[in-house]
Structure 1
Amino acid sequence: QKGVRKESMVGVLAERSPEMAVSVLAVLKAGGAYVPLDPDYPEDRLRYMLEDSGACLLLAQPGLSVSGFSGETLEASLSSLTSETETGAVSDEADADSLAYIIYTSGSTGTPKGVAVEHRQAAAFLSGMQGQFPLTEEDVIVLKSSFSFDAS
């Protein structure tokens, strides 16, 4: 409904939560690419990442925002995400070569750099990890890294 199409960049500003997971899946389902944003980052860094990535939309968990963002910000609460969800099929615009997300480096040079990850790359990584460390539905995993860290 907000015009997200193949490789549209959408920022996702959320703590690790159901809202974060639903937001990411919504962006991918629409064919867009998400930019994970850690709420603990300084606001000027978040603003830079949104501008540099060309994000047109920001999905923000209630209580979170980035002042000065020139695009549209939508509250990503479970009630708002589920009440406006279309039940249609996954967009067929995106393919294996399309961007899935842009992850930003730590910025050791002073300016973070975006690394574009295609669906094929993400799938290959996950497949390799499953081969190395097979997981089943009975397994429980502790997540120690931020949502905006690539290995997460």
Structure 2
Amino acid sequence: MSAWPIISLPLCAATTANAGAKISELHFLSKADEKKLKIDLNQTSFDYPREKCVHQLFSEQVKNDPEKIAVVFENEQLSYQQLYDKSCTLAMYLQSLGVKPDSLAGICVERSLDMMVGLMGILQAGGAYVPLDPEYPEDRLSYMLENSKLDIVLTQNKLISKVASLAANNPNAQIICIDKDWPLIEKSVKDLRNKKVELRQDVSTNHLAYVIYTSGSTGKPKGVMIEHRALVNFLCSMSVMPGIKKEDRLLAVTTYCFDIAGLEFYLPLINGAQLRICRNEDVKNAASLMSILKEHNTTIMQGTPAVWQLLFYAGWKNEEKIRILVGGEALSETLKNNFASTNSKAWNMYGPT
């Protein structure tokens, strides 16, 4: 878009003056403009921590401001230090069970603080997570669990029966309840630390961060393997544009089985900002979502066009001046007009992976 003003008027003038000429034969740019188009506007190299994994970038923020609130769910919250400590405890326990770089560990939990402890714990252990949304159809979840050959699945006590049923064809899978089993996890890790066992840090950016499954619209769902370097590249790019500051509060509304959830969860946590996790019920209720956006001083939210349209249909005017990220579906003209009429800043995030 920034190149269009440079090209359009000179091109129109040149074609008018030389109606029979081929465009390749026209010389309508000054040397300065030609340099800007060919060289200046193509300076796409970007310096970012390409040797760091996402959990390592999070750990740096823990050192910067350990007492700051990192993640909020309803009336519960964890500081950066608390999230780090809990995830490292879980990571040591997972390593004791054999989790290592490129190991896959499933996680089937409801949206909660447990979700973030589980995701970050798997990453801290060096493993890669396979998200299993409990709201997905059981046949799909069962296929994902069996196809990925999971040896470990993290869950919650309320879902234990469901997960055990899903894992019926994978008898070797160990099911760990993050909530119910936490005292056991802490005791086990305390014993390990007494034996001078430390959390191993042998994961690199070439190792897997997570595996997400496609919708299966053209057949069976397929697992897409995402390495740390791809995730960090994406997050660091998004840190610059649209950008995020320590003062920001991002509301996460997307299922963790979608690729864009990586942005929602980790973008705030690697930049010292705050993550608020929205309940599924509130995402589907325009009045509830509008209330949350306003009451909790949300500054950034990523949602599908359907979610944003739900808000606009309910009369939302974006008086909070929330920075809007939109993806997952094609952006309609109606929604573009809604963004424009409310003077909103919006970024189209369609297709991040």
Structure 2-normalised TM-score? 0.40
- Residue of 150, 175, 193 corresponding to 1:55: 150
- CA deviation map 1:92-126 (0-9, x unaligned): 32111001100111121242111000010110010
1:128 aligns with 237
The reply on whether 1:75 has 2:174 as its aligned counterpart is no
The CA deviation at 1:68 is: 4.2
Higher helix share: 2
SS of residue in 2 equivalent to 1:141: strand
Counterpart selection for 2:121 from 26, 42, 46: 26
Aligned-residue offset at 1:62: 2.1
Q: Paired residue for 1:42?
A: 137
Q: Is residue 252 of structure 2 the alignment partner of residue 143 of structure 1?
A: yes
How large is the RMSD of aligned CA atoms in angstroms?
Answer: 2.0
Deviations 1:36-76 (A, max 9, x none): 11110111211111121121100012211321412111101
Deviates more, 1:127-136 or 1:97-106: 127-136
Q: Distance in 2 between matches of 1:111 and 1:62?
A: 29
Instruction: Specify the code of the residue in structure 1 equivalent to 2:228.
Output: H
CA contact (8 A) 1:19 1:78 kept: no
Distance in 2 of aligned mates of 1:90 and 1:123: 22
CA 143–78 in structure 1, closer or farther in 2 if over 3 Å, else same? farther
CA displacement at 1:89 relative to structure 2: 5.3
C-alpha displacement at 1:136, in angstroms?
1.9
The count of corresponding residues between Structure 1 and Structure 2 is 152
Which one is further off, 59-68 or 81-90? 81-90
CA contact (8 A) 1:18 1:78 kept: no
1:92 corresponding residue in structure 2: 201
Change (3 A) 1:129 1:3: same
Give the Å deviation of 1:85: 4.8
Task: Supply the distance in 1 between the matched residues of 2:126 and 2:136 (Cα, whole angstroms).
Answer: 27
Aligned identity (percent) is: 40
Contact 2:157 2:180 in 1 (8 A): no
Moved more, 65-74 or 21-30: 65-74
The runs of 5 or more residues in structure 1 that have no matched partner are none
Question: What's the CA shift for 1:79?
Answer: 6.6
Question: 2:138, 2:166 within 8 Å by CA — same for their partners in 1?
Answer: no
Alpha-carbon distance in 2 for matches of 1:124, 1:26: 21
Structure 2, unaligned stretches of length 5 or more? Answer: 1-95, 262-353
Question: What is the distance in 1 between the residues matched to 2:153 and 2:233?
Answer: 28
Higher-Rg structure is 2
